Amino acid sequence: MQCSLRVSHTNQLHTQRNRGELHKGSPFLSRKETITMRLENLYPDILDEEKKKNTPLFIPVGVIEYHSAHLPLGTDTQTPYHLLERLEAERDIIIAPPVWYGCASYAVKGPEGYSIDMDGTVLGSMMYNIYMSLLKSGFRRIITVLYHQTEDYNPTETACLDASRRVIFKYLEDNRGIGWWGDNGMHEKYEAEDNANDPWNWIRVMPLMPRDFEADHAGYQETSLLWALRPDLVRSEKIGTSDDWFAETAKDASREAGEAMARELLDYWHGILK
């Protein structure tokens, strides 16, 4: 069976979605369910149009890590990915496949908890290649979203930050030449560049939530948020069955509280992207 999705169809779909006009029986509903704005589901002609609009491309980066008895190992990846799905339902963004294998560490529990720890240099090397490929393809609004140890610039975040800066320096040197920044002929160009065209804004590495957002590990906040985003993944009957001190507040978690958190975070990202 052949399926053709033209750019005009995509634009009309976004318009209908934003107006709340999609309904059962809509000719676009099956397309939306089958082909969403996920990088792996898109085609070159559609991406060409999205690049012209400078549509943000998000890369969720998380870890595989022990999250007590009631939350899955992939909580720190599932949460940003599924929040971005909600964001994509409200505005035009592209979501790249998640990077699951960040620097989990064994700070919470040893290997018996089934965490998978990735060395920061290995993660950095992978992110370097992802970023460079996206820049070469013409993307200029790449946003890496993290949801693991973001309170104090820890290994997953620093690996992504380091890779992003190295990629930008390398790309500029390769395309503008050695001495690109100090070239007298570039002086006026740099003065005219706005924030959108500033090379240092081409790749951003950001936590899913503001750094002052109250967070925890498998407690009230994290449990509530995943409960809202993926209720099928929260084993509510297991809450309180472990002796993990950090998960004690999970007993107060609720899907309703998670929905409020999700809405707050969506509004936060709308503010960043405006």
Q: Would you say residue 136 lies in a domain?
A: yes
Residue 229 lies in a domain: no
Residue 116 has pLDDT above 80, yes or no: yes
Average pLDDT over residues 103-130: 96
Cα–Cα distance, 259 to 56 (Å, whole number): 24
Percent of the chain with pLDDT over 90: 74
Residue 4 vs residue 270, higher pLDDT = 270
State the CATH number of the domain containing residue 176.
3.40.50.10310
In a domain? residue 28: no
Q: For residue 80, give the nearest of 68, 69, 93 by alpha carbon.
A: 93
Question: Could you give the number of structural domains in the chain?
Answer: 1
State the pairing for strand pair 203-207/142-146. Answer: parallel
Q: Is residue 139 part of a domain?
A: yes
Q: How far, rounded to the nearest angstrom, does the alpha carbon of residue 70 sit from its chain's CA centroid? A: 24
In sequence order, the 6+-apart residues with CB closer than 8 A to the CB of 18 are 90, 91
Higher-confidence residue of 181 and 174: namely 174
Residue 27 pLDDT: 40
d(CA 120, CA 162): 10
Quote the CA–CA distance of 269 and 274 in Å, as a whole number: 9
The pLDDT of 42-71, averaged and rounded, is 97
Q: Residue 32 pLDDT > 70, yes or no? A: no
pLDDT of residue 182: 76
The DSSP symbol for 119 reads -
In this structure, is residue 251 part of a structural domain? no
**Domain assignment of residue 29, yes or no:** no
CB atoms within 10 A of CB 83: 25
Residue 141 sits in which domain range?
Answer: 35-211+267-273
Give φ, ψ of 14 to 5 degrees.
-60, -40
Q: Which of 206, 221, 261 is nearest to 83 (CA)?
A: 261
pLDDT at 8: 41
pLDDT at 179: 84
Going from the C-alpha of 255 to that of each of 77, 208, 268, the distances in angstroms are 19, 19, 20
More confident residue, 35 or 238: 238
Mean model confidence pLDDT for the chain: 87
Residue 22 counted as domain residue = no
Spatial contact of 123 and 159, defined as CB atoms under 8 Å apart: yes
Residue 189 has pLDDT above 70, yes or no: no
